[in-house]
A and B are shown apart, each in its own frame.
Chain A
Amino acid sequence: MAEDILALIEENVIQGRVTQDDEGLEEGMVGQPGVSELIEKALAQGLNPQDIINRGLTKGMDIVGQRFETKEYYIPDMLASAEAVGAAMEILEPHLARSGLKSKGKIIMVTVEGDLHDIGKNIVSILLRGAGYTVKDLGNDIAPQAIVAAVREDRPQFLGMSALLTSTMIHMSTTIQALAENGLKDKVKVIIGGAAVSQEFAQSIGADGYGADGFEAVRVVESLNSGKAS
């Protein structure tokens, strides 16, 4: 019984279905339970959240990753699956906390002051949630002081900043300075991305990492996270 529902969770992650209203990659899936409904059902049946993550969500996401590598899957498939996992993690979060388990880390995501372009930030947020991180998305056009306040209050391991415009990327630098002035720079790893910025720019402003695209952003976070763990 447990194996059946875990297999269904895995399959629906592969199909990228959040709810029963979603289409899958295959025909005729609308109306069948999606990942959200299956997670609720699994919890109701008393399944361990850790098992749900490891033997359902992660297993499905591994297959999605392999299919993406072999070009069988495209970015929209990857994002749909990551969105499904992210939705699952939101449901699981209180249960994980109760059982003493933690997510892989907490990340605050913003688009910097003066910039309303949030597609990149949203994609990275979906992928990070799909990778098992807890993401707090502050939105776009966020002033440095508001970011500093959120870092102070939430104490995330990571801060992700995005900028599309060359005129707004400067606020990444001012935010990092503001973090330093408030004694928070050493307490959070700052990762930046967006069309306007580069690896060189990241180094020049003292960011800890740079992601050229959503997938690289996740790899950078994973790498910094494992470095921290070791």
Chain B
Amino acid sequence: MARQGVLVEPYHRLKLEQVERIHQASLAILTDPGLVCFNRDAAEIFGDSGAEVLSIEQGGSACWLLKIPQKIISDTVQAAPKVVRLGARDENNCLILDGREPRVCFASGSEANNWLDVDVETFVSKRDPDTEVNLPVFRVEKGTLNRLARAARLCEHLDSWDSFLRTVNIQDDDIVDDNKDVNKFFVSLNNTTKHVMSGLTELGQLSNVVRMAQIIAGGEDRLRENPIISFITCIAKSPLQLTNDTTQKAIEIARLGIPLVISSSPQGGSTAPIREEGMVAQINAEILGGIALSQLVNKGTPVLYGSVPSRADMVSLYDSYAVPEFSQYNIDCVQMARYYSLPCYSTGGVSDVKVPGIQASVERLFSHILVTLAGPQYIHYAFGLLERTNTFCPVQAVLDDAHIDMVKRFVRQPTVSADRISESLEQIRRVMGTSHKLYVRFVRSALRSGEIAPPYPFEGKDMADETLFRARERMEEILSLPPLHIAEEVVDRVFQEVPGLVSRLRDR
């Protein structure tokens, strides 16, 4: 069994000839100007495979200009698996991502520094002291292990949240770069039975993280069958540069055959052309270059086509996720991934604003709906992210879960069949034979089978907007449930064999 993403009839923004034109442009980019590579191993791997490699120097660093011919790209794209399985502690929660099938799953992101709590306070009107009103008050906290655990527990119980991608950057006093990876993976795995995905802070920690995953999965072979973890490697520094550090991580992860996301996150208007065709041609070249490397290292390594394009805010040059171009770029990338039959790790659901509310809802729903319609296999950033991914808000994540459920209901495929038409005709004839001419009685089976949407879960009394209060109550309700921790004897083994875990994580 696996979690079933929602199967959509994909919206095609680009015509096939436009997809092919972008593909050709990306191939042209990979030979001229090519990729600037700061990693020696990658340069050698590409050189050994027939790419032209020129030694150059940029900013005092040794680097190589890679001119990657079309054959390498076509061979490696062909070698990359079309179906990637992301395992889970509870195998019913695993995800089967098939690049040929537009079935969408939703995941969080993105190692935000801030955690935003929502409190409720009562305010008294200055004009009329007898008038009191309850309002949400927001409190910014820093990301910690404890808060990461709380987010993972929310993920466990929110049905639209298919995979846990670390939400906050853990900034506890006893966490440093050398122990960050093992602790963030342990806390995540120990608080959700869904798939856990994260970036790797220190390459030196890779073996410890993998050992931990093997113990939890039940051994080396079991981890291969049921990869309960995967890694994100943003190897491209746009425009068109492969960084030394992350490229090395991608190489080592690929050698182990653990699923990895090859991602790129250029910003239209600063590190990529702002026009759609230029942006998509460049990001596609960057991702194809990374995927090629993963397959040259270890043919058949499971990879996701990781597209995280954004557009520059023209006032601040920060990323802007609320602009329409953000969704256009992402939809185009989904189509490019589908052209190669590769599972797509896409992006949607972020707000530029700092707090939940009307602006946040409008901004995030825009991309939630549009990017989902394109049919990527995996949408990250979909839960709780505010302030351009700098803030994770658990109450917002609860809201997102409900809204994604509505989006999923909307995009699912129609069920117009001969039988259903006959049933409808029968209903219409029966109702026209009554005095009241109402169809309400026929709603009941659809209501109970889940065929039609339930009432909005955060509706207030008398149509008052109490959304944040109700969502906060739901969050508290979920967090009061007992966590589904890893079995105690398995935790003991993890602590015996994996260095760097902070001892307080053993407390139950």
Which residues of A have CB within 8 Å of B436?
A: 83, 122-123, 125-126
Distance in angstroms between the alpha carbons of A83 and B434 in the assembled complex: 10
Residue A149, interface by CB 8 Å = no
Contact check, B448 vs A22: say whether CB atoms are below 8 A apart.
no
Q: What's the minimum C-beta distance from B457 to chain A, rounded to whole angstroms?
A: 12
CB pair B441–A79 under 8 Å, yes or no, is yes
List the A residue with the shortest CB-CB distance to B443: A76
Q: Which of B413-451 contact A (CB under 8 A)?
A: 430, 435-438, 440-441, 443-445, 447-448
On whether the beta carbons of B440 and A76 are closer than 8 Å, the reply is: yes
Q: Is the CB of B444 within 8 A of A16?
A: yes
Cβ-defined contact, B444 with A23, below 8 A: yes
Q: Which of B438, B445, B448 contacts A122 (CB 8 A)?
A: B438
Sample of 10 further A-B pairs with CB below 8 A, known A76-B447, A79-B441, A126-B436: A23-B445, A25-B444, A25-B445, A74-B443, A79-B438, A80-B444, A83-B436, A119-B438, A122-B437, A123-B440
A-B contact count (CB 8 A): 40
Contact present for A80 and B445 (CB under 8 Å): no
User: Interface of chain A, helix or strand or loop or mixed?
Assistant: helix
Contact of B440 among A21, A75, A125 (CB under 8 A): A75
Interface residues as binary, A123-162 with B (CB distance below 8 Å gives 1, 0 otherwise): 1011000000000010000000000000000000000000
Q: In the bound complex, do residue B448 and residue A25 qualify as a contact, i.e. CB atoms below 8 Å apart?
A: yes
- Residues facing A in B122-137 (CB within 8 A) are none
How big is chain B's contact interface, by range? 10 to 19
A164 to chain B, nearest CB (A): 15
A22 touches B447 (CB 8 A): no
**Min CB gap B244→A, angstroms:** 59
A22 vs B435: C-alpha distance when bound (angstroms): 16
Inter-chain contact B435/A137, CB cutoff 8 Å: yes
Q: CB of A11 within 8 A of chain B?
A: no
Nearest A residue to B435 via CB reads: A137
Quick one: closest A residue to B448, CB to CB? A25
Chain B hits for A74, CB < 8 A: 443-444, 447
A-B contact pairs, 18 of them (CB 8 A): A16-B441, A21-B430, A23-B444, A23-B445, A25-B444, A25-B445, A25-B448, A74-B443, A74-B444, A76-B447, A77-B444, A79-B438, A80-B441, A119-B438, A122-B437, A123-B438, A125-B435, A125-B436
Query: In the complex, what residues of A have CB within 8 A of residue B444's CB?
Result: 16, 23, 25, 74, 76-77, 80
What chain A residues lie within 8 Å of B443 (beta carbons)? 74, 76
A83 contacts B441, CB within 8 Å? yes
Interface string of A7-32 (1 = CB under 8 A from B): 00000000010000111010000000
- In the bound assembly, the distance between CA atoms of A137 and B437 in angstroms comes to 13
A-B pairs, 3 with minimum CB distance: A122-B436, A80-B441, A76-B440
Closest B residue to A126 by CB, please name it: B436
Q: Tell me the residues in window 67-99 of chain A with beta carbons closer than 8 Å to chain B beta carbons.
A: 74-77, 79-80, 83
Q: Report the Cα distance A22→B427, complex, angstroms.
A: 11
Inter-chain CA distance A137–B435, complex, in Å, is 9
Quick one: which of B46-98 are within 8 Å of A by CB?
none
In the bound assembly, the distance between CA atoms of A49 and B436 in angstroms comes to: 25
A24 to B438, CA, bound (A): 17
Q: What per-residue 1/0 map shows which CB atoms of B343-372 lie under 8 Å from chain A?
A: 000000000000000000000000000000
User: For the complex, what is the distance from the CA of A83 to the CA of B438, rounded to whole Å?
Assistant: 11
- B445: chain A residues at CB < 8 Å are 23, 25
Q: Quick one: given A23-B445, A25-B448, are A79 and B440 in contact (CB under 8 Å)? A: yes
Q: State A79–B441 Cα separation when bound (angstroms).
A: 7
In the bound complex, residues from chain B placing their C-beta under 8 Å from that of A77 are: 444
Please report the C-alpha to C-alpha distance between residue A25 and residue B449 in the assembled complex, in whole angstroms: 10
**When chains A and B are docked, how far (Å) is the Cα of A74 from the Cα of B446?**
12
Question: How far does the alpha carbon of A26 sit from the alpha carbon of B259 in the complex, in Å?
Answer: 45
Output the nearest chain B residue to A119 by Cβ-Cβ distance.
B438
Name the A residues within 8 Å of B447 (CB-CB): 74, 76
Q: Given A74-B447, A76-B447, does the pair A22, B441 have CB atoms closer than 8 Å? A: yes
Tell me, rounded to whole Å, the shortest Cβ–Cβ distance linking B422 to chain A.
Answer: 15
CB distance from A129 to the nearest CB of B (A): 10
In the complex, what distance in Å separates the CA atom of A119 from the CA atom of B438? 8
Instruction: Give the one of B430, B438, B443 with max A CB within 10 A.
Output: B438
- In the complex, the chain A residue whose C-beta lies closest to that of B426 is A21
Q: Which of A74, A76, A80, A125 has the most CB of B within 10 A?
A: A76
A19 nearest CB neighbor, chain B only: B430
Closest chain A residue to B441 by CB distance?
Answer: A80
CB distance from B198 to the nearest CB of A (A): 40
Q: Provide the bound-state CA to CA distance between A224 and B320, in Å.
A: 61
Q: Which B residues, 442 to 501, have Cβ-Cβ distances below 8 Å to chain A? A: 443-445, 447-448
Query: Looking at A75, A80, A137, which has the most chain B CB atoms within 10 Å of its CB?
Result: A80
A-contacting residues, B165-188, CB 8 Å: none
Residues on B with beta carbons closer than 8 Å to the beta carbon of A22: 441
Once the chains are docked, how many angstroms separate the CA of A71 from the CA of B430?
Answer: 28
Distance between Cα atoms of A25 and B436 in the complex (Å) = 21
Residues in chain B near residue A123, CB distance under 8 A = 436, 438, 440
CB distance from B424 to the nearest CB of A (A): 14
Residue among A22, A74, A75 with the highest chain B CB neighbour number at 10 A: A74
Q: How far is the CA of A77 from the CA of B442 in the complex (A)?
A: 10
B residues in contact with A16, CB < 8 Å: 441, 444
